[in-house]
Copies of this chain bind each other. A is one copy, B any other.
Amino acid sequence: MRTPRIHILTPITGADAYVPSQFADLVGTFVTISCSAISRGPASIESVADEMMAGPEILRSCLALAADGVEAIVIDCFGDPGVAAARELLSIPVIGPGQSSLHRAAQLADRVGVVTMLDNVLPLVRDMGLRAGLDGRLCSVRALDIPVLALEGEHFAQALREQALAAVRDDGAEALILGCTGMFGVSERLSTYLTGEIGTYIPVVDPISSAVLDAVALARLGLSHSKRAYINPPARTRESILTLR
């Protein structure tokens, strides 16, 4: 049994890329993980404008990664920037943590909440729910009011616990999604906290981990996105991506 190679592409320049060992507990030797960040683009993605500025470099990176033989790409940002466009260009799976975690959570509960960093992205999150057909299931979308690049420390942990508990207690969420891939590593602790407060188990979905396991699944199933839904653009488009800077 061969080992598929999955690449995690971080679409910002303001943070280190992941290192593969961070995913060792998750995937063992079932797949090979590689990681990188784009070299030009915004320091973080906290608006639609940031997504657009990151776009061209995401597409260039995806073309290069596919040419290099990776078998699936995960875009490391909850807003799934560039995923639809990259799917047009490629036949290997391109996976966004936003869509992956929304569908994951919707299979674990009827009513789902998302807790994200800044108010700026609340409209994006609601829009993702609408496009996934899951807006009727998205009962709570809350922000911590903390910028992505400042999401460490006790201030963050405290704000996250507060908003997460409000999503469950006041808005009726039965499962939660961390609405920013920068929150990597806290889902288990948050689930334990909420389960303790509420008295019943509340799952918390980590979006990048969910996306990596969807990449694993697609690689194993031999499936990719439909090329009738994500149609190959004219040859001209690919050229403009490679030459336009």
State A200–B209 Cα separation when bound (angstroms).
30
**Contact A226–B108 (Cβ < 8 Å):** yes
Residues in B neighbouring A225, C-beta threshold 8 A: 107-109, 203
- Which residue from chain B places its CB closest to the CB of A84 in the assembled complex? B48
| Chain copies in complex | 6
**Contact A85–B131 (Cβ < 8 Å):** no
**Contact B220–A26 (Cβ < 8 Å):** yes
**Contact B110–A49 (Cβ < 8 Å):** no
**Contact A237–B200 (Cβ < 8 Å):** no
Candidates B48, B111, B233; contact of A120 at CB < 8 Å? B233
**Contact A46–B237 (Cβ < 8 Å):** yes
**Contact B133–A134 (Cβ < 8 Å):** yes
Chain A interface residue count, CB cutoff 8 Å, equals 94
**Contact A224–B56 (Cβ < 8 Å):** no
Residues in B neighbouring A106, C-beta threshold 8 A: 103, 132-133
Candidates B136, B168, B214, B244; contact of A40 at CB < 8 Å? B244
A75 interface contact, C-beta 8 A: no
Residues in B neighbouring A107, C-beta threshold 8 A: 95, 99-100, 103, 214, 225
**Contact B132–A130 (Cβ < 8 Å):** no
A89 interface contact, C-beta 8 A: yes
**Contact A52–B82 (Cβ < 8 Å):** yes
Q: Can you offer 7 A-B residue contacts whose CB atoms are under 8 A?
A: A47-B237, A49-B88, A55-B56, A107-B225, A135-B136, A209-B221, A213-B217
Interface of A toward B, CB cutoff 8 Å: 1, 24-28, 30, 40-44, 46-53, 55-56, 58-59, 82, 84-86, 88-89, 91, 95, 99-100, 103-104, 106-111, 119-120, 123, 126-127, 130-137, 147, 168, 174-175, 188, 198, 200-203, 205-206, 209-210, 213-214, 216-217, 220-234, 236-237, 240-241, 244-245
